[in-house]
């Protein structure tokens, strides 16, 4: 269970008690309906005496529910809707594979070179080289099957069609790598991209990898032949690769000082993941081919044509180990661009929830004169906090915020989301939308991000809670009232386990 933070609990004990009792067998009783406060109302002054005990009690109820459901992985019980949590690294991979030092030494070193962006400074172009140094041990098929099965719910690699089983083993193999901490990164070779401008050169990283094998450094390069970033609108590219490895290549994007950057999440906005529905989400991530969501590829293709010098930056909080699978899908389906995934030192739950902010802040600081179009969906709690947060901290840099309302087209999304931070943002700066086509013909460059034909239903509080709690739209910008909530508690609604876990999750934010 996630560490309890200092923020106040959002749900009253009586409601929790009702939910705990109800979860395995959803027959609900209304408890004190007249005095139950709305769970959607934030009340910073409210304190609870024995929070810890309350949560421990909930945890044991959750454990009970989990065991009654059978084989549910522990990351689900953590209440974080991201099942790529706490992947094994370094020593734990070595021990789970039973590798000796000699065996490991014989395995060649590899590099994950995450496609970087670069900004222009008085010293020329400044490239953010980032990635990971690791070894990829050979794992036999039966062992890979065992390891892959840890990630699947109610099915196994053996039961999947052959191509999906191969994919599941492939993704699992990319997770069971041995990161090389505290080593020097071989020189990074930089070359012109497809006979474009620039000079070949070797870049040496100034320090060793982190204990988790990561590297992340802005380094000036020799910019001979390249156009200055203050004198062009065009994105220039360079080919880069980490020498002494076979797979460490990536294209670097040299991004001019001014212009538009689309910052896009990937899961459930660019592809169908169903991250909020773990059984499906896992199959979609480990086994099945990636499928684009609706006609988002057309929308992005249109943006890259009608806004010709747009920089695309794919920023997801998936762990670094699955970066390549995502790159492959994006480059086949969407405009090419730079990437950010979750560095390995952000591993516990609270760090996981802060990584998006960390990466976004770095991007905004690197391009203080560019304007950003932020795109994602409502099932990410960090997005719901960080995207509007960036508008509040850097209003001049946020051109548009586009959020897909995942629940509107997929009722299996039971994760609540908070629209509170949108309260003071002008409507023309953002849009919640339902279908990809809602983004057609929006005049992004003209500073209007809202398609007036899409009704907005923001309550400026929690939305998407079970029983429709919190769904009454705000009246004149005031917080929604809670009469519906209490009434709803008397209704025998099909509360799923995941809705329940998601409520636990929300209390901890």
Ligand X SMILES: *[C@@H]1O[C@H](CO)[C@@H](O)[C@H](O)[C@H]1NC(C)=O
Question: Applying CB under 6 A, which residues contact ligand X?
Answer: 97-98, 115, 119, 121-122, 126, 140, 142-143, 170, 173-174, 182-184, 186-187, 189, 202, 208, 210, 214, 216, 218, 228, 230-231, 243-244, 249-251, 295, 298-299, 302, 306, 327, 343, 345-346, 351, 362, 365-366, 368, 405, 407-408, 419, 432-434, 440-441, 454-458, 463, 471
Which is closer to ligand X, CB of 103 or CB of 492? 103
Question: How far apart (Å, rounded) are the C-alpha atoms in residues 368 and 214?
Answer: 26
Q: How far is the CB of 67 from ligand X (least distance, A)?
A: 29
Q: For ligand X, give the closer residue by CB, 199 or 216.
A: 216
**Nearer Cβ to ligand X (61/267):** 267
Phi, psi of 121 (to 5 degrees): -130, 180
- Name the token pair of 425: 């943002």
Of 362, 367, 370, 378, give the one whose Cα is nearest residue 418. Answer: 378
Which of residues 12 and 337 has its CB atom nearest to ligand X in the complex?
337
Closest to ligand X by CB, 184 or 224: 184
| CB closer to ligand X out of 71 and 246 | 246
**What's the closest the beta carbon of residue 149 comes to ligand X, in angstroms?**
14
Q: Chain-centre distance of CA 298, in angstroms?
A: 22
Angle at 159 between CA 155 and CA 161, to 5 degrees: 120
Closer CB to ligand X, residue 183 or residue 445? 183
Q: Which is nearer to ligand X, 222 or 249 (CB)?
A: 249
- Concatenated DSSP letters of 202-214: EE--SSPPPTTSE
Crossing angle of helices 355-366 and 381-393, rounded to 10° = 30
Q: Least Å distance between CB 462 and ligand X? A: 11
Question: Helix, strand, or coil here: 375?
Answer: strand
Report the nearest approach of ligand X to the CB of residue 92 (Å). 14
For the bound state, the minimum distance from the C-beta of residue 121 to ligand X, rounded and expressed in Å, comes to 5
Task: Quote the CA–CA distance of 199 and 176 in Å, as a whole number.
Answer: 37
Six token digits for residue 226:
């390249």
Pairing outcome for strands 398-404 and 430-433: parallel
Q: At its nearest, how many Å lie between ligand X and the CB of residue 113?
A: 8
Which residues, at least 6 apart from 58, have a Cβ–Cβ distance to it below 8 Å? 16, 20, 504
Sign of CA dihedral 11, 17, 19, 20: positive
Of 327, 334, 345, 341, nearest to 299 (Cα)?
334
Nearest approach in angstroms of CB 75 to ligand X is: 19
* φ, ψ at 318 (rounded to 5°): -65, 150
Work out whether the CA dihedral 458, 460, 466, 467 comes out positive or negative: negative
**Smallest distance, ligand X to C-beta of residue 291, A:** 18
């Amino acid at each position: 269970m996630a560490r309890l933070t200092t923020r106040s609990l959002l749900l009253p004990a009586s409601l929790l008690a009702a939910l705990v009792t109800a979860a395995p067998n959803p027959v609900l009783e209304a408890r004190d309906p007249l005095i139950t406060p709305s769970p959607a109302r934030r009340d910073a002054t409210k304190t609870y005496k024995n929070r810890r005990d309350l949560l421990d009690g909930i945890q044991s109820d959750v454990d009970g529910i989990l065991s009654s459901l059978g084989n549910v992985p522990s990351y689900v019980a953590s209440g974080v809707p991201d099942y790529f949590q706490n992947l094994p690294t370094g020593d734990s991979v070595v021990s789970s594979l039973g590798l000796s030092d000699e065996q490991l030494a014989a395995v060649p070193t590899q590099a994950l070179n995450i496609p970087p962006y670069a900004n222009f400074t008085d010293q020329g172009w400044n490239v953010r080289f980032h990635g990971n140094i690791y070894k990829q041990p050979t794992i036999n098929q039966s062992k890979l099957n065992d390891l892959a099965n840890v990630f699947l719910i109610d099915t196994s690699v053996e039961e999947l069609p052959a191509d999906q089983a191969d994919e599941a083993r492939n993704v699992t193999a990319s997770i069971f790598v041995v990161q090389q901490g505290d080593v020097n990164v071989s020189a990074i070779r930089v070359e012109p991209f497809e006979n474009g401008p620039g000079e070949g050169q070797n870049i040496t990283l100034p320090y060793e990898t982190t204990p988790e094998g990561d590297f992340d450094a802005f380094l000036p390069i020799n910019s001979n032949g390249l156009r200055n970033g203050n004198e062009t609108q065009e994105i220039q590219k360079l080919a880069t690769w980490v020498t002494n490895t076979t797979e460490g290549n990536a294209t670097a994007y040299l991004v001019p000082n001014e212009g538009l950057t689309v910052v896009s999440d990937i899961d459930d906005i660019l592809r169908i993941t169903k991250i909020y529905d773990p059984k499906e989400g896992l199959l979609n991530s480990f086994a099945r081919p990636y499928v684009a969501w609706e006609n988002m590829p057309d929308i992005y293709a249109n943006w890259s044509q009608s806004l010709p010098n747009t920089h695309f930056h794919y920023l997801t909080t998936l762990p670094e180990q699955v970066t390549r699978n995502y790159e492959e899908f994006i480059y086949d389906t969407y405009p090419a661009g730079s990437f950010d995934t979750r560095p390995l030192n952000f591993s516990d739950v609270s760090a996981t929830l802060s990584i998006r902010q960390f990466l976004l802040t770095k991007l905004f600081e690197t391009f203080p004169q560019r304007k950003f179009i932020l795109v994602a969906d409502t099932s990410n709690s960090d997005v719901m906090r960080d995207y509007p947060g960036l508008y509040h901290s850097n209003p001049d840099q946020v051109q548009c915020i586009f959020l897909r309302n995942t629940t509107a087209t997929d009722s299996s999304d039971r994760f609540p989301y908070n629209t509170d931070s949108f309260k003071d943002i002008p409507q023309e700066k953002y849009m919640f939308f339902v279908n990809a086509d809602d983004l057609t013909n929006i005049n992004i460059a003209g500073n209007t991000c809202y398609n007036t034909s899409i009704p907005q239903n923001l309550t400026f509080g929690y939305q998407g809670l079970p029983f429709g709690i919190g769904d009454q739209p705000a009246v004149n910008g005031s917080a929604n009232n809670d009469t519906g909530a209490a009434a709803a508690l008397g209704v025998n609604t099909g509360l799923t386990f995941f809705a329940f876990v998601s409520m636990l999750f929300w209390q901890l934010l």
